[in-house]
């Protein structure tokens, strides 16, 4: 994987050799030369003098902010570093969704010497929210729409393209995509790469040859359905969900046979128990989640049929309990006055049997959600010392602004603590599990309700956090946003927006719009925070080298000390970063770190979608908070791969 190239000026004036000479362009198109040239010139030029104020400012947090569940973190067999094969074969690297790698060649002691090894462009300028996969000596990447699958040969200089798979797609799918034409990644199992397309196809491709094994369409763009999430393969089944909560789509999780593509089961997020796959084995911990056909009776008549609850986020799996965990999206429409009731089973979490899809338990993060707090974020499965015993825990940084620690066997909430400024609720009653919304922040028709915190994207949206068993800390990339919200009447027409709200977002307390927070789930408090100018919309990566990687929307890819939050290294990319970093061992035995740039997604639509900066309600209100983003980034779509010299 050795390449050669020109020297560029590095951090603090040091000379750093950039090994980008072997870069290859994808067949879809070519990245604009000026943009890539800017990236090369700026590569490694860390403006350490600018690391203050709103951009990259680090703060230690008080040591006595909240009482601890127990006094120490102890590694357990589940949390301890696992055998590291150097690959990255599923979206979160493991079923527990830790995004932790046991590789340690790149460490907090030497990460400052990272150099650019090579780059690759997929020629696509929509938002790049995905994570590459590395299987053996091949790196795989699914582009944003039209969702082409690239295979790069890591045994050759510059990692040239081995093959490209181009699925036939419906161009009209672009017109019903809520928040850019993104794709959040693929999964590998049994010699095949599995991924979704925006127009609702699930595809299986031979990992060695790129030949299509099967391709199945399981949704309908004419109803407003799309698919953006990354699949997970569990026990021979490919688990996938749909998007379209702002189009009146009825959410579902579907399991397909990995060998044939045939649908094994489908569990809806609304409707009668038979559709939701609720039967005699369903035992929710809290009384409010028990009862017959709550997916119908907690809605006005017929409203559940266009009620949302889409499944576009992350899935985790516990092999010991044999349960998959995933969240459901917001109810529709956003106007809460049109749907009185708890609106089951939206904005919550299910535990299901992967063989049959039957529900085992459910918990609702935000009953009768009134702020678009989708419940689709990742669920980390950790064994934690709580109350003098080791608990099989599920840890979740939720959109409503709270870090939840739950018993993943039963669905009991053990703690729920705010990790951002919250005005939309008063917290969670741990005795009953009840979320306690603040009545005065509920949107109303004809009234603008101001300063609702967090805003509709939540304290944290889909952008996945990481966990290190070495520090016992979660690394949460998230937002610092509030909003003004007016409910309006919405009318359902299949395949068209079904929102019913005028929203304008703005920065939260402090004026910065994003943070990376290191959170101790046992002591229930932050260890440190880094404040960023824009929402931290990238994923996080933690390694056994005690380094945490993440990216920013103003084009920095950063490495920080996992224990202290000290910024150890940074690199300026051509475009803002909203993707997910990974690390892998190359065929040459070296450790590499990879990240795609390519600003976009919901917060970056003002750039990727060329939206007007004059309309603060554009992009469902996100444009109001991101008016200055075009001053800090261009469109992009380049993979950067780094290594030590």
Q: Which residues are catalytic?
A: 246, 330, 372
Q: Are 195 and 149 in contact (CB under 8 A)?
A: yes
Q: Which runs of E-coded beta strand occur in 207-291?
A: 212-217, 232-234, 237-241, 252-257, 263-268
Provide the b/e sequence for 607-630 (b: ≥16 CB within 10 Å). Answer: bbbebeeeebbbbbbbbbbbeebb
Separation CA 385–CA 73 (nearest Å)? 6
Of 470, 471, 566, 453, nearest to 516 by C-alpha is 566
Of 359, 367, 388, 263, nearest to 309 by C-alpha is 367
Of 376, 338, 270, nearest to 499 by C-alpha is 338
Chain-centroid distance, C-alpha 103 = 22
Helix runs in 286-363, H state only: 294-297
Which residues lie closer than 8 Å to 233 by C-beta, 6 or more apart? 90, 187, 188, 189, 190, 194, 239, 258
Specify burial of residue 34 (Cβ count, 10 A radius: 0-12, 13-18, 19+). Answer: exposed
**Which residue matches tokens 């795609």?**
596
**Which residue matches tokens 């056994």?**
544
* Structure-token pair, residue 540: 């996080």
Of 352, 420, 476, 403, nearest to 99 by C-alpha is 476
Question: Can you state the percent helix, strand and coil of the chain, rounding each to 5?
Answer: 10, 35, 55
Q: Which residues pair with 152 in a beta bridge?
A: 139, 161
Which residues lie closer than 8 Å to 278 by C-beta, 6 or more apart? 295, 358, 359
CA angle 540-545-550, nearest 5°?
20
Q: Are 611 and 619 in contact (CB under 8 A)?
A: yes
| 3-state SS, one letter per residue, for 546-568 | CEEEEECCCCEEEEEECCCCCEE
The values of phi and psi at residue 102, to 5°, are -80, 0
């Amino acid at each position: 994987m050795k390449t050669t190239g020109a020297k560029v000026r590095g951090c603090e004036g040091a000379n750093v050799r950039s090994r980008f000479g072997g870069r290859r362009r994808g067949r879809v198109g070519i990245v604009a030369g000026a943009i890539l040239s800017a990236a090369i010139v700026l590569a490694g030029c860390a403006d350490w003098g600018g690391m203050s104020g709103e951009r990259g400012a680090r703060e230690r947090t008080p040591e006595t902010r909240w009482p601890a569940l127990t006094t120490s973190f102890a590694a357990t067999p589940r949390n301890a570093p696992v055998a590291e094969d150097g690959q990255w074969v599923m979206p979160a690297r493991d079923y527990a969704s830790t995004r932790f790698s046991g590789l340690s060649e790149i460490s907090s002691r030497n990460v400052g010497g990272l150099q650019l090894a090579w780059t690759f462009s997929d020629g696509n300028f929509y938002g790049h929210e995905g994570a590459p996969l590395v299987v053996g000596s091949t790196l795989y990447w699914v582009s944003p729409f039209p969702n082409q699958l690239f295979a790069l040969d890591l045994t050759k200089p510059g990692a040239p393209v081995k093959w490209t798979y181009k699925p036939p797609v419906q161009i009209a799918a672009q017109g019903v995509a809520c928040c850019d034409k993104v794709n959040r990644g693929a999964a590998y199992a049994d010699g095949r790469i599995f991924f979704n397309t925006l127009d609702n196809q699930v595809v299986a491709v031979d990992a060695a040859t790129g030949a299509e094994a099967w391709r199945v369409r399981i949704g309908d763009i004419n109803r407003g359905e799309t698919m953006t999430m990354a699949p997970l393969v569990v026990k021979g089944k490919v688990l996938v969900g749909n998007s379209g909560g702002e189009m009146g789509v009825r959410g579902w999780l579907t399991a397909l046979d990995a060998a044939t593509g045939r649908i094994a089961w489908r569990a809806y997020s609304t409707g009668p128990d038979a559709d939701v796959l609720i039967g005699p084995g369903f035992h929710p911990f809290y009384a409010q989640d028990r009862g017959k056909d709550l997916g119908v009776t907690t809605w006005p008549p017929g409203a559940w049929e266009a009620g949302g609850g889409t499944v576009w986020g992350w899935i985790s799996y516990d092999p010991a309990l044999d349960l998959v965990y995933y969240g459901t999206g917001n109810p529709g429409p956003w106007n809460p006055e049109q749907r009185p009731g708890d609106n089951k089973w939206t904005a919550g979490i299910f535990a299901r049997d992967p063989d049959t899809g039957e529900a085992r338990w459910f918990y609702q993060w935000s009953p009768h959600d009134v702020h678009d707090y989708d419940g689709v974020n990742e669920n980390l499965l950790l064994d934690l010392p709580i109350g003098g015993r080791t608990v099989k825990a599920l840890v979740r940084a939720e959109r409503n602004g709270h870090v939840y620690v739950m018993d993943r066997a039963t669905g009991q909430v053990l703690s729920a603590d705010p990790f951002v400024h919250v005005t939309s609720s008063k917290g969670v009653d741990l005795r009953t599990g009840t979320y306690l919304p603040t009545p005065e922040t509920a949107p109303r028709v004809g009234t603008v309700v101001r300063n609702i915190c967090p805003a509709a994207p939540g304290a944290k949206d889909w952008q996945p956090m990481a966990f290190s068993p070495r520090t016992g800390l979660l690394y949460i990339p998230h937002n610092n946003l509030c909003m003004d919200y007016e409910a309006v009447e919405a009318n359902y027409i299949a395949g068209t927006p079904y929102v019913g709200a005028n929203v304008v977002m703005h920065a939260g307390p402090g004026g910065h719009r994003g943070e990376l927070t290191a959170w101790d789930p046992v002591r229930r408090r932050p260890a440190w925070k880094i404040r960023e100018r824009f929402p931290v919309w990238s994923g996080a990566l933690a390694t056994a080298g005690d380094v945490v990687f993440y990216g920013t929307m103003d084009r920095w890819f950063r490495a920080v000390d996992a224990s202290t939050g000290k910024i150890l290294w940074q690199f300026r990319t051509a475009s803002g970063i909203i993707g997910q970093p990974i690390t892998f061992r190359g065929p040459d035995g070296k450790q590499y770190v990879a990240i795609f740039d390519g600003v976009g997604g919901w917060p970056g639509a003002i750039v990727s979608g060329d939206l007007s900066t004059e309309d603060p309600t554009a992009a469902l209100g996100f444009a109001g908070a991101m008016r200055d983003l075009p001053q800090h980034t261009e469109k992009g779509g380049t993979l950067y791969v780094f290594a030590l010299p």
